Chain A
Amino acid sequence: MKNAYYRRVVGSLATLWLALVVALPAQAALQVDITDSAESAVPIAISPFGSDGANLPVDIAKVASNDLASTGLFDVLDRNNMVASPSRPDDVNYSNWRASSVDNLVVGTAESNGRGGYRLQFDVLDVYQGRSIARFTLNAGRNQLRDAAHTVANLIYEKFIGKKGYFLSQISYITVANEGGKQRFRLLVSDYDGSNPATVYSSRDPILSPAWAPGGQRLAYVAFDVARGRTSLRVQDLQTGNIREISAREGINGAPAWSPDGNRLAMTLSFRGNPDIYVYNLNTDQLTQVTNNSAIDTEPTWAPDGNHIAFTSDRAGQPQVYRMRSDGSQVERLTFSGQSNQRADYAPDGSAIAMVQKSGNGFRIAVRDLETNNMRVVSEGPLDDSPNFAPNGQAIIYAKQGRNNELATVSIDGKVRSRLSQSGEVREPAWGPLGY
C-alpha cells in the first residue's frame, strides 16, 4: 500500500519536474565556502555509486560528499585521489585504501527497482578492520535520486555524529537587489545549501522576519505596504501560495514566532501605543496580550516545551533577553553579560538559546547554555544578526551585515564555519525543519 501511494506521488512528480526545468528562476544560488573545519573531522571517502546499466542521472557520491564536507565535520577524500572506485564491499582491496589513510570508505550501488525507480544499497566500511560496519538500503523514485543522495549523506552523518543530518532541510532568506535604481526585496526558499532557490514573495517595499511553521509547510513574515502606510504580518502556504493576513493594525505588526504545535503565533504589535508581545491563536482567531510594559518588548521566540517564550526588552535600559511563561507570567531576565543581548532563538531541544550580543563596538552571535548558564561567543562580528539554529541543533545560521551582506553558518562550539554568499545583499536566514 505504501508503494502504491509512493508511485502516485512519483507519477505526479514526473510532470512537475518538467515545469521546474522550464521555469527555473534566474535567481542566483548561494555559494557555500568552508572557512574553518573541525580538527577532529572524520576522514571518509565515498566511491562513485555503481549502476546496472546506463549512467545515473545524479552523481550520488558527489552530492553526498558535498553534503558531508559542507558541515566541516568530515574530511572527504577527493575522487581524483582515490586508489580505486569500487561499488561493492567484495571489490575493495583494503590494504590499498589503508595506504591512503582513509579510515572510512563508503561503497554503494543504485540499480533499477523494476518500477521505474532505483534501489540503493550502500556499506560504510571500516578500512582498518576490513569490514562493513553498516549497510543501508533505500528505494527512490525515478526523479528522486538527488534526495536519495542527500538521504545517503544523512545516514552517514547520523552514523558518525550521532545526530540527524539536515541535508534535506530548506532555508528561507531575504535578498535585496538594486534594479533600475529601485530596491527589490525577495523572500526565497532554497535547499539548506542554497541550491534550488525559489521566490516566495517579492516587493519593492521591505520584507522582514521569515519564520518557518513546524512541519515546514508555511512561512510567516512581515510585508510593508508603503503606499498604504502599513505593514502586514501574514502566513503563506508554500504549497498553494495562499496568504492569510494575521495582523495589519496601526503601527508594528512584526516578529512572528510559531508555537511548537503550529497553532499559535507570538508577535509584536503596537496598536495600543507601545510595542508589546501578543499571542494569536490561528484556530480561534483569539488575540492575547502577554506583555504590558512601557518599554520595548519584541522578538519573541517560543521554547520547544511550548510553555515559555523568550523575548527582547529594554525595560532595564539596554535591550536584554527575558523569559516568561507563554501567558506572560513569571518574567525573568536571562542575560547579564555584554552591553546588550537581543533576538533570542531556542535550540530545537531547548537546552540553549542563541542571540545577538553587543560588546565593545561589535554585535556577535552568542550561545547561552541554559543548564550551565555558560555564554559562548561564536561569531566574529562586527554586525551579525538573525541567529537561527539548524533543525538538528548542531549549527547556527546567521546574517553578516556591513561591507558584505551574506549568510554564514557556525557550529555551536564556534569551531566550524562556512559562508553562503551571492551577488547582492542576503539577510535574515531562517532554517526550516529536517525535511524527513
Chain B
Amino acid sequence: MNKHHSQVGRRLQLIAIVLVAALVLTACGGDKNLRGGEDLPAAGAGAGNQQGDQGMGMQQGRDIDVRGLQGIDPDDRSMFTDPNNPLSTRIIYFDLDSSAIPSRFSESIQAHARYLSQHPNVSLRLEGHTDERGTREYNVALGERRAESVKETLVVSGASAGQLSTLSFGEERPAELGSSEAAYSKNRRVEFIYVK
C-alpha cells in the first residue's frame, strides 16, 4: 500500500505539471492562437498573391479565368483566358497513382514554357494535388511529384528552373467534393499559378 501511495503521489505531481500546461494553453485559447501561433495573412492580404483564392479549396465552380494570373501583365492576360489559346489550359489532370503527363497537355505545356522563356521575370508556381484515397503525407509526396514532373517538362521546353516553384497540397484542397471517380479525376491535378 505504501508503494502505491508514493507512486500515486509522484504521479499527481506530474499531473499537476501537465495541468498547468493544459491550462495555460486553454487560457490563451478560445479561437485565438497561442503566443507565436499567429494567423497567416488573410485572403488577398499578401501583396498581389492569389487574391480571393485563400481557403476556397472546398468551394466549387471558382473562376479559373482570374485565378493564378496575378503575375501576368494585365495586357497579356487575355492570352491566358482565350479558350482558343493553348495558354488557357492551366490545369493538368493525371491518372490514378501517376505523375506522367498525359500527351493531350503537351501543346499547352510547350506554350507556357515558351511564354516563360520570353518573359524571364515571370514566376510560375506549380500546385500539386491528389484525390482523397491513400494517406495524407503520401499524397503530399505524390502531388509534389506531379508538380515536379510538370516543372521538368517546362524546363526541358525552355523555361528557366529559377522561374518555377512547386507546392503540393496532397489531398487537402480538392477541386470537387465527393467520393466518386468523376470527382477524383478532377482532383488529381497540377494548377499553374503565376505569382508576382
- Residues of chain A touching chain B, judged by Cβ–Cβ distance below 8 Å, are 2, 5-6, 9-10, 12-13, 16-17, 19-20, 23-26, 135-141, 144, 147-148, 151, 155, 168, 170, 178, 181-184, 189, 196, 198-206, 208-209, 216-217, 223-231, 236, 238-243, 250-252, 254-255, 268, 270, 273-275, 296, 298-299, 312, 318-319, 340, 342-343, 356, 358, 363, 383, 385-386, 401-403, 427-428, 435-436
Residues of A within 8 A of B14 (CB): 435-436
CB <8 Å contact, A139 and B9: yes
B135 with A151: CB separation less than 8 A: no
Contact B43 A182 (CB under 8 A): yes
CB distance B138 to A202 under 8 Å?
no
Nearest-CB distance from B55 to chain A (Å)?
4
For B54, give its contact among A5, A20, A24, A204 (CB under 8 Å): A204
Chain A residues positioned under 8 Å from B28 (CB to CB): 23, 241
Question: Which of A140, A236, A386, A401 has a CB less than 8 Å from the CB of B36?
Answer: A236
> 13 other contacts beyond A202-B31, A228-B49, with CB at 8 A cut-off?
A135-B1, A147-B19, A183-B58, A200-B25, A205-B55, A225-B40, A229-B167, A239-B24, A299-B138, A319-B138, A402-B179, A435-B15, A436-B11
Contact call B132/A401, Cβ cutoff below 8 A: yes
Q: Which 8 A-B pairs have the closest CB atoms?
A: A241-B34, A227-B46, A241-B35, A19-B27, A204-B55, A138-B8, A436-B11, A182-B55
Q: A243-B37, A342-B138 are in contact. Are A273 and B13 (CB under 8 A)?
A: no
Complex CA gap A318/B135 in Å reads 13
Q: Is the CB of B137 within 8 A of A209?
A: yes
A26 in complex: contacting residue of B23, B31, B36, B134, CB < 8 Å: B31
Could you tell me which residues of chain B, from 156 to 184, have a CB within 8 Å of some CB in chain A? 165-170, 172-173, 179
> A238 is contacted by which of B10, B11, B21, B138 (Cβ under 8 Å)?
B21
Partner among B5, B36, B134 whose Cβ is within 8 Å of the Cβ of A241: B36
| Among A206, A312, A363, residue most surrounded by chain B Cβ atoms (within 10 Å) | A206
| Complex contacts, B10 vs chain A, CB 8 Å | 2
Q: Please state if B33 and A202 are interface contacts (CB–CB under 8 Å).
A: yes
> Which residue of A has the minimal Cβ distance to B168?
A252
CB of B141 closer than 8 Å to a CB of A = yes
> In the complex, what residues of B have CB within 8 A of residue A236's CB?
34, 36-37
B residues less than 8 Å from A342 (CB atoms): 134-135, 138
Contact between A199 and B30, CB atoms less than 8 A apart: yes
Residue with the highest number of chain A CB atoms closer than 10 Å, among B1, B34, B133, B137: B137
Among A25, A183, A435, which residue has its beta carbon within 8 angstroms of that of B26? A25
Cα distance, A201 to B1, chains bound together (Å): 43
Name the distance in Å between A168's Cβ and chain B's nearest Cβ: 6
The answer for the CA separation of A436 and B40 in the assembled complex, in Å, is 35
- B-side contacts of A217, CB under 8 Å: 21
**B20 at interface (Cβ–Cβ under 8 A)?**
yes
Which residue on chain B has the smallest CB distance to residue A250?
B165
A270 touches B144 (CB 8 A): yes
Q: Could you tell me the distance between the alpha carbons of A67 and B101 in the complex, rounded to whole angstroms?
A: 53
Cα–Cα distance between A385 and B16 once the two chains are bound (Å): 33
Chain A residues near B5: list those with CB within 8 A.
137-138
Distance in Å: Cβ of B143 to nearest Cβ of chain A:
9
Selected contact of B33 from candidates A148, A199, A299, CB within 8 Å: A199
How far apart are B31's CB and chain A's nearest CB, in angstroms? 7
